[in-house]
Amino acid sequence: MSDVFDNLVLFFEQQIELYGNDIGLILDTTIDEQQSSFSPLAWQESASLHELEQTIKTCQQCALSQARNKFVFGGGNPQADIVFVGEAPGADEDRIGLPFVGRAGDMLTKILDSIQLKRTDVYICNILKCRPPQNRDPLPDEIATCKPYLVKQLQLIQPKIIVCLGRIAAQVLLETSDSLTQLRARWFSLNEMKVMVTYHPAALLRSTGYKSATWEDMKRLRQLYDDIKGQA
């Protein structure tokens, strides 16, 4: 437990001794050790994905942390050449603590399967690590707070290719307000990484009309992946 926290506890204990418990505070010294272990800067020094996850999973930097059941860091192959980035955890992900484990996740597994990729071949994560209420769109301050974690994840994984799943992931990663239609069927460069944009798997659950375009995107992805593998 940090010195700062110890000093705060001491201060409030002294106040209660002096003024009684009517200072209006419930003093809970049983706060989980982990909850107080988050340091807003230390995580930047993480040398591995595991270390990063351990350092940020108790994050309370935005209001979403108050309602979450699980912090959804990401999952898959930490050495993957391809990283899929979604928007934010939904109810199933919040319950289980892993990305894309609900219906949209089953669809993503099928999409990967269509180009002979397994979930263990790739890494999957989201722009936000905590579920927004009622799955609403992420707010700008939530994105600003959480995006640095994703950037650090990408620095540690060093993938060759990033696939943005849906408009929000694409706009946040590419720092643009262009529409998904404008962003699809192109390759972008982000540092050393190639970035492509495709439909969110949940969109395919809502309308089968997106399937053929997604299939075209996946063929493009497989082609670049094979090219990269061929060069390695």
Interface contacts to ligand URA, rule CB under 6 A? 86-90, 93, 99-100, 104, 126
Which CB, 15 or 71, lies closer to ligand URA?
A: 71
Which CB, 12 or 92, lies closer to ligand URA?
A: 92
Cβ 100 to ligand URA, closest distance in Å? 4
User: Residue 85: phi, psi to the nearest 5?
Assistant: -120, 120
What letter would DSSP give residue 211? Answer: H
Burial of residue 170, with CB atoms counted within 10 A of its CB: 0-12 exposed, 13-18 middle, 19 or more buried: buried
Cβ 165 to ligand URA, closest distance in Å? 6
Which CB, 33 or 137, lies closer to ligand URA?
A: 137
Cβ 92 to ligand URA, closest distance in Å? 7
Cβ 109 to ligand URA, closest distance in Å? 12
Cβ 161 to ligand URA, closest distance in Å? 18
Which CB, 76 or 159, lies closer to ligand URA?
A: 76
Q: Which run of H or E residues covers position 198?
A: strand 193-198
Which CB, 137 or 227, lies closer to ligand URA?
A: 137
* Strands of the 75-76 sheet, one edge to the other: 75-76, 123-126, 82-86, 161-165, 193-198, 188-190
Q: In 3D, which of 179, 178, 195 has the Cα closest to residue 187? A: 195
Q: Are 184 and 217 in contact (CB under 8 A)?
A: yes
Q: In the bound complex, which residue of the shown chain has the CB atom lying closest to ligand URA?
A: 86
Q: Are 110 and 123 in contact (CB under 8 A)?
A: no
